[in-house]
Amino acid sequence: MKKVTIKDVAKEAEVSPSTVSRVISDSPNISKSTKEKVRFIMDEMGYYPNAIARSLVKQKTRSIGLVMSRPTDRALANPFFSGVIQGIAAVAQEKNYSLLLTAADNYEDEYQEALKQLKVGRVDGLVLLASRINDDLIKQLLKNNFPFVLIGRSQEFPSIPRVDNDNYKAAFDLIEKLIKSGYKDFSVLAGHKDYVFTGDRLKGVIDALKAHSMNLDPVKIEFTDFTFKSAEQSAYKILSNHKTDALIAFDDLLGMAAVQTAEALGFSVPDQLGIVGFNDHTLVSYLKPSLTTVKIPIVDMGERAISMLIKMLEDSSYTGEEEIISTEIIERESLKFI
Amino acid sequence: MKKVTIKDVAKEAEVSPSTVSRVISDSPNISKSTKEKVRFIMDEMGYYPNAIARSLVKQKTRSIGLVMSRPTDRALANPFFSGVIQGIAAVAQEKNYSLLLTAADNYEDEYQEALKQLKVGRVDGLVLLASRINDDLIKQLLKNNFPFVLIGRSQEFPSIPRVDNDNYKAAFDLIEKLIKSGYKDFSVLAGHKDYVFTGDRLKGVIDALKAHSMNLDPVKIEFTDFTFKSAEQSAYKILSNHKTDALIAFDDLLGMAAVQTAEALGFSVPDQLGIVGFNDHTLVSYLKPSLTTVKIPIVDMGERAISMLIKMLEDSSYTGEEEIISTEIIERESLKFI
DNA sequence: TTATTAAATGCAAACGCTTGCACAAACACT
DNA sequence: AGTGTTTGTGCAAGCGTTTGCATTTAATAA
């Protein structure tokens, strides 16, 4: 089964390759009759234009690299990433772009890998699911003038093309609402310190408390990674040592761990202890008690990020912008507002 | 910032492009001194060989397409897919292959999309996460002699390159063990009918019962899709209408829904009703009660599938094989064996 | 009819690389 | 010194497209 090229089609249709090419792109200055003839032959021969060759001359690949700033295995285990990818994949498909997944064992390699995909011309641009502080990759990208959009926020480079939710405000508003509802003793089960959003949310919490002349006893903050085990331990530390009536977990998974730990310790949720998560992962919302949470439109963020990138790629006068997506508090069973 | 090509490097190093090319591939018949000189220049100029051009002449892209036989959004929502991708991504990275994600809204498009990636030469081969019955894509692939490996089983094409676990045996063994433990009234919360593994597991269950002169009342089987809602409804149907002491769910998510439904109906798990799932999704193992399950090494399956594919691509005498991976029953709290 | 313009097609270069083959230089052997 | 091998490089074709420009053919105008 020899591969059929544009030349084969041309020969068969008794036209030149250029003509076939123009038929493919539906050029207006090819006669209707020729188009029909060529199209017929293409079908008959089972011809598909070679994407690589086309990419070479067009200097565009129509594919986009996806970088997750953490080991892929762990990344994918988190529903957050699945959600983002969902959104990205949907739009990519619709706009006829391919998605190139980049994986690596550690941060450093990951960066290098991603950058390389761009340098070797395999992708036209990058979507960064970066959440870590101190992003060297961004620096590189900027320096090389490579198109990318970040999902999240970079500390060093505040205004770059990105889409994010306002974590500070989300946390701030949440606390205000909690205070209004009469909660007094707050504790937080935070994510990993290295993530930018952890810091942002924490600041939101603290500022909101300050605004009401309260403050968050630092020992009531526990940082943890996203494994269930360590989340349980952290929850245990908080709950067994401190009086608290509202526990804010910076991810639903952490919230879920907190609920279980709390119940194991004999707290009744939400009566004695309210627990609220972040993200609104589908699965977690079905637990008993179902989790009150700050919903972040993850899929939507993915969609917007890639849409922005594609726009940047296709319209050179557009250089991207900052899109902040709003969040929403969803009240379920694990914490009740008045 | 003009892109630097092999010619630029050649000129700068005062050698021919061929020489530079050979330096890149570390050809043995380039002198050490020349290599050093050229490498130095390459570094200095920030040269990266263009992957597209290379692909064009080599007729290889070193990238692999990933096809999930269901809408990407729903696919990604399921931990099973994340797991497989984890495995695939890890190996791909290690072996220096890129991963191309293919998405589409519906099955038909998905197939077309995937096939197209191959036909246009964007990928060298395909990994199919196909679980549905009656796979037209496979037929096409076979006909066109395209390299692929299937994760799962195809009814129409039993012996093709694939990796799978023996769902029939896993279910059969599970039931035997349950019978030995004294369970008598079985019910099953099955996945969607269209999936091959649903049928396989069901057959395993039924055959095992037959082997012990028992049979499964057909009304005690409920098919459901993988949304939590429909799983709950199905579990409700079973539990509120039939006497049962062991409920087998064909996925941990379904098992989790069953546990909740059972408890809501006043059954105590596992004392009055044992519930066992399939897959061993990490998250679900942490629930209370933790889920007894048939562990399927999902990540491992992904790894093997892509390894097989790469081997097929790189060694033309190797045409793939069938790898069956064994499963393991993991006893936790939701169902106790004697 | 001939000149003029518009419409349809072909030519050939280019995209950035690899590789078979030819060839020059350096070395080894009678 | 002459012949035969190595060893290291360069030449040029080719991978399958696209596209600016030239060219042919058809259509219109004079």
- Render pLDDT for B95-134 as a digit per residue (tens, 0 to 9): 999 999 886 666 677 777 888 899 999 999 999 986 665 6
Task: Report, as an integer, the average pLDDT of B40-65.
Answer: 96
Q: Where are the domains of chain A?
A: 6-49, 63-165+299-325, 167-296
Give CATH for domain B6-49. Answer: 1.10.260.40
Chain B nearest CA to A212, separation (Å): 37
**How are beta strands A246-249 and A322-325 bridged, if at all?**
unpaired
DSSP state for residue A59 in the 8-state scheme? T
pLDDT band, residue A285 (cuts 50/70/90): confident
For the domain with range A167-296, which CATH number is right: 3.40.50.2300, 3.40.50.300, 3.60.130.10, 1.10.3720.10? 3.40.50.2300
Task: Tally Cβ neighbours within 10 Å of residue B85.
Answer: 29
Q: How far apart are CA B20 and CA A45, in angstroms?
A: 39
Q: Is the pLDDT of residue A303 over 70?
A: yes
Question: Distance of CA B131 to CAs A66, B108, B213, Å?
Answer: 26, 14, 31
Could A77 and B73 be called an inter-chain contact, meaning their C-beta atoms sit closer than 8 Å? no
pLDDT value at A137 more than 90: no
Q: Is B2 exposed, middle or buried (0-12, 13-18, 19+ CB in 10 A)?
A: exposed
Distance CA B79, CA A77 (A): 8
DSSP assignment, residue B217?
-
Pick B133 or A278 by higher pLDDT. Answer: A278
Residue A282 tokens, joined? 């589908």
**Per-chain mean pLDDT for chain B:** 89
Query: How far from A136 is each of A104, A121, B57, CA to CA, in Å?
Result: 16, 20, 34
Mean pLDDT of chain A: 89
Same fold, B6-49 and B63-165+299-325: no
At B289, give phi and psi (nearest 5°).
-70, 150
pLDDT score recorded for residue A326: 94
CB contact under 8 A, A50 and B120: yes
CATH architecture of B63-165+299-325: 3-Layer(aba) Sandwich (3.40)
A255 has a pLDDT exceeding 90: yes
pLDDT in tens, A41-78: 999 999 999 999 999 999 999 999 998 765 544 544 67
How far apart CA B100 and CA B84 sit, in angstroms, is: 14
pLDDT of residue B196: 87
Average pLDDT, stretch B39-62?
Answer: 96
Q: Torsions phi, psi of A317, nearest 5?
A: -85, -10
Cis, peptide link before residue A270, omega less than 30° from 0: yes
Interface of B with A in 9-68 (CB under 8 A): 48-53, 55-56, 61, 63, 66
φ, ψ of residue A218 in degrees (nearest 5): -55, -30
In degrees, rounded to 5, the angle at the alpha carbon of residue A203 between the alpha carbons of residues A199 and A204 is: 120
**Inter-chain touch B86–A105, beta carbons under 8 Å:** no
Residue B323 burial (CB count, 10 A):
16
Chain A residues touching residue B255 (CB < 8 angstroms)? none
pLDDT at B75 over 50: no
**Interface subset of A 251-280, CB within 8 angstroms of B:** 253, 256-257, 260, 263-264
The number of beta carbons lying within 10 Å of the beta carbon of residue B124 is 23
Predicted pLDDT at B190 = 93
Q: Which three-class secondary structure string do you get for A216-277?
A: CCHHHEEECCCCHHHHHHHHHHHHHHCCCCEEEECCHHHHHHHHHHHHHCCCCCCCCCEEEE
B residues 205-234 closer than 8 Å to A (CB): 228, 232
> What CATH homologous superfamily does B167-297 map to?
Response regulator (3.40.50.2300)
| 8 Å CB contact between A247 and A262 | yes
Residue A117, helix vs strand vs coil? helix
Query: CB atoms < 10 A from the CB of B133, how many?
Result: 15
Closest Cα in chain B to A100: B100
Bridge partners of B292, per DSSP, are: B276
- pLDDT for B76: 47
Average pLDDT estimate for A316-329: 95
Q: Residue B65: what pLDDT?
A: 94
Q: How high is the pLDDT of residue B120?
A: 94
Taking only the tens place, the pLDDT of each residue in B169-206 is 999 999 999 999 999 899 999 988 888 889 999 999 99
- 3-state DSSP call for residue B136? helix
B17 CB inside 7 Å of strand C: yes
Average pLDDT on B135-149 reads 89
| CA–CA dist A125, A147 (Å, integer) | 5
Q: Which one of B154-163, B207-216, B300-309 scores highest in mean pLDDT? A: B300-309
- What average pLDDT does the segment B45-59 reach? 96
